């Protein structure tokens, strides 16, 4: 079901295409979506946790809380008005760190795509959208964690995320803005020169 980058970009000119989607900024009211996404990420391999776990367990519930005042940001992919994916970055405090936490000045990234929309480039475009926003906000780096065996690791590596020395067992990876140039092309102002990286639609 996937396609090459030319195919993905072409959908932007055909909004009625069945695979077409648009993105919008994440807002505080998207908490239920973040709960759904967090649960999906936790259960990527098998059913290990429940929605209740995400609601009450401290190590999970912070992922469903978007706090603009501390600098959190993200984007939602929608098709036909329904969310099909979401990417978000949080500045979690040292006293309540998440998986992949590096420090309080490094936004921690989470990415989820609905099962029926995977393999269509949604995750890649969302991730690039977030990277462009990080550049605009002048963040020095982004971090995340991915469990061993999760195919998402290949996506992150292809988009410039690199393992953190000494934390390989935890799957911690970090991305620096310079890595985006190799992936999508960024001019001297930090603006992307790739149509795919706009993330407006597929």
Residue-wise pLDDT tens digits, 101-151: 889 999 999 999 999 999 999 999 999 999 999 999 999 999 999 998 899
- pLDDT score for 100: 80
Q: What is the Rg, in whole angstroms, of the alpha carbon atoms belonging to the chain?
A: 16
pLDDT at 22 over 50: yes
pLDDT of residue 129: 97
Has this prediction a pTM greater than 0.85?
no
DSSP string, 72-97: -EEEEEEETTEEEEEEEEE---TTS-
Angle, alpha carbons 200-26-102 (nearest 5°): 105
Q: How far apart are CA 164 and CA 191, in angstroms?
A: 27
Q: Give 68-80 pLDDT, tens digit per residue.
A: 999 999 999 999 9
Nearest-angstrom CA–CA distance, 130 and 27 = 14
Which helix H or strand E contains 172, and what residues bound it?
strand 172-175
Q: Tell me which DSSP letter residue 164 carries.
A: P
Task: Band the pLDDT of 166: cuts 50, 70, 90.
Answer: confident
pLDDT in tens, 42-94: 999 889 999 999 999 989 999 999 999 999 999 999 999 999 999 999 999 99
| Between 184 and 90, the higher pLDDT residue | 90
Beta bridge partners of 25: 75
CA distance 71 to 187: 25
User: What is the distance in angstroms between the CA of the first residue and the CA of the last residue of the chain?
Assistant: 13
The strand pairing partners of 23, in sequence order, are 77
pLDDT band at 17 (very low <50, low <70, confident <90, very high): low
State the pLDDT confidence band at 28, using cuts at 50, 70 and 90.
confident
* pLDDT the model gives residue 72: 96
* pLDDT on residue 194: 35
Q: Which domains are present in the chain?
A: 5-187 (3.40.630.30)
């Amino acid at each position: 079901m996937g396609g090459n980058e030319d195919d993905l970009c072409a959908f932007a000119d055909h909004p009625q295409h069945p695979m077409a989607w648009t993105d919008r900024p994440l807002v505080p009211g998207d908490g239920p979506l973040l709960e759904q996404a967090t649960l999906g990420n936790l259960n990527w391999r098998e059913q290990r946790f429940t929605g209740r776990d995400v609601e009450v367990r401290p190590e999970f519930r912070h992922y469903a809380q978007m706090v603009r005042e501390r600098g959190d940001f993200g984007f939602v992919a929608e098709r036909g008005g329904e969310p099909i994916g979401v990417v978000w970055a949080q500045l979690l405090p040292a006293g309540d760190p998440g998986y992949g936490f590096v420090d309080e000045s490094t936004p921690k990234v989470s990415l989820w795509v609905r099962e029926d929309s995977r393999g269509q480039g949604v995750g890649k475009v969302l991730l690039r959208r977030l990277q462009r926003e990080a550049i605009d906000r002048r963040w020095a780096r982004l971090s995340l964690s991915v469990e061993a065996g999760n195919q998402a690791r290949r996506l992150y590596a292809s988009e410039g995320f690199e393992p953190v020395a000494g934390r390989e067992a935890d799957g911690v990876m970090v991305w620096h803005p310079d890595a985006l140039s190799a992936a999508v092309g960024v001019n001297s102002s930090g603006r992307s020169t790739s149509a795919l990286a706009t993330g407006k639609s597929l």
